[in-house]
Amino acid sequence: MTALEIRALEAGYGKEPVLRGIDLTVTSGVTAILGSSGCGKTTLLRAVAGFVEPSAGTIDVAGERVVGKGRSVPARKRGIGYVPQEGALFPHLTVARNITFGLPRSERRSAAAVVDEALAMVELAPELATRFPHQLSGGQQQRVALARALAPRPSLVLLDEPFSSLDAGLREETGRAVVRALRAAEAAAVLVTHDQGEALSLADQVAVMAAGQFLQVAAPAEVYLQPADPRVASFIGHATLLPGRITGGGRGSCALGEVAVKAGDVATGPAQLAVRSEQLQIRTDGTGTPGEVVDVSFFGHDATIRLRLETGEQVAARTPADSVPAAGDRVRVAVVGEVVAFPG
């Protein structure tokens, strides 16, 4: 059964809707909603959860219409687990009481078993049940927040930037644990994030959002390799968009010279070419397009350098950690592989 089906959804806070024409189907697994700050990700989760009243469109959860013409099922009756930003555990309640808080009175009798099962699902030791939230690490708090959302056995869980307060290492570990827990609970999930690495690595489906609309909804590899829109290309993988031309026969030209273009339906003529930083390599054999290094971001495993080409355009190139040029250096770069083209 489809866990979540959204059609032509419109929602917001005043006269101008924040969300427009949102369509989304979640069958199972994790769907990530990826977009920059303020684009409407939280508003979408709140509309699905029942905390924001949509002005148009329909929402079905597990086959039941919860939003539609003249219909709005109250939040607590939608059968949805919600993990808000920062987890929002009740600070004065133990882990066990936090987990059982949302359960119907009849089920609180078997609370100990529910708590044990929920803690096991999120891979936390049963001894933590008697602790208070301030006696847990940030990652443990996030897992308890998920355990609380999973305890009533919802078919759909909504997670709003659940890992944003965690440091990089803990983020990855907690993210993977959360996905395992969702699988164990057989719950589908919608995960809001502005972190493309998180979206691509954790989700089965990624919905890229900008200004209240979806630009593309597809599998992680597809949004990365076949972006449907120039904004998806520049947001995911930090591609630089260069004006150019499709010259025919799978070739194009731009400030970086002649390049191979991925097969697509862009006709010969003006085009925008999306060049990813990992596709741009520094050449030391005298070939390639010359440019001056504007700045360098060093990441340890590699570095990203920003170059100003002689045409004035700036591009980003990824380079190994042991051969990083300095700002002001003159280098030559060449495009490796095929670039994605969009109509110009």
- Contact residues for ligand ATP, defined by CB under 6 A: 13, 18, 35, 37-43, 194
Q: In angstroms, what is the minimal distance from the CB of 258 to ligand ATP? A: 39
For the bound state, the minimum distance from the C-beta of residue 169 to ligand ATP, rounded and expressed in Å, comes to 22
For ligand ATP, which is the closer residue by CB, 53 or 295? 53
Q: How far apart are CA 106 and CA 123, in angstroms?
A: 26
- DSSP assignment, residue 66? E
The C-alpha atoms of residue 230 and residue 241 are separated, in whole angstroms, by 7
Nearest approach in angstroms of CB 3 to ligand ATP is: 21
Residue among 16 and 322 whose Cβ is closer to ligand ATP: 16
Judging by DSSP bridges, how do beta strands 156-160 and 330-335 pair with one another? unpaired
- Between 3 and 39, whose beta carbon lies closer to ligand ATP? 39
Taking each continuous run of H as one helix and of E as one strand, the counts in the chain are 8, 21
Closest alpha carbon to 152 in 63, 80, 248? 80
End-to-end CA distance of the chain: 41
Output the smallest distance, CB 320 to ligand ATP, in A. Answer: 33
Least distance in angstroms from the C-beta of 42 to ligand ATP: 3
Q: Three-state SS for 169?
A: helix
Helix (H, G, I), strand (E, B) or coil at 323: helix
The nearer residue to ligand ATP, 38 or 248, going by C-beta atoms, is: 38
Strands 156-160, 80-83: parallel, antiparallel or unpaired by DSSP?
Answer: parallel
> In sequence order, what are the residues at sequence separation of 6 or more whose Cβ sits closer than 8 angstroms to the Cβ of residue 225?
none
Q: How far is the CB of 48 from ligand ATP (least distance, A)?
A: 12
Cβ proximity to ligand ATP, 184 vs 210, nearer residue:
210
**CA 344, CA 342: separation in Å to the nearest integer?**
6
The residue (of 35 and 291) whose beta carbon lies closer to ligand ATP is 35
Tokens standing for residue 22: 């949102």
**Closer to ligand ATP at the Cβ: 89 or 192?**
192
What crossing angle do the helices spanning 168-184 and 138-150 adopt, rounded to 10°? 20
Report the distance separating Cα 175 and Cα 173, nearest Å: 5
Distance in Å, CB of 18 to ligand ATP, minimum: 4
17 or 227, CB closer to ligand ATP?
Answer: 17
Structure tokens at 300: 């340890």
Strand 19-26 to strand 4-11: parallel, antiparallel, or no bridges (unpaired)? antiparallel
Strands 56-61 and 64-68: antiparallel
Q: Which is nearer to ligand ATP, 195 or 292 (CB)?
A: 195
Residue 191 Cβ, how far from ligand ATP at the closest point, in Å?
A: 12
Cβ neighbors of 201 (< 8 A, separation 6 or more) are: 172, 175, 220
- Min separation Cβ 8 and ligand ATP, Å: 18
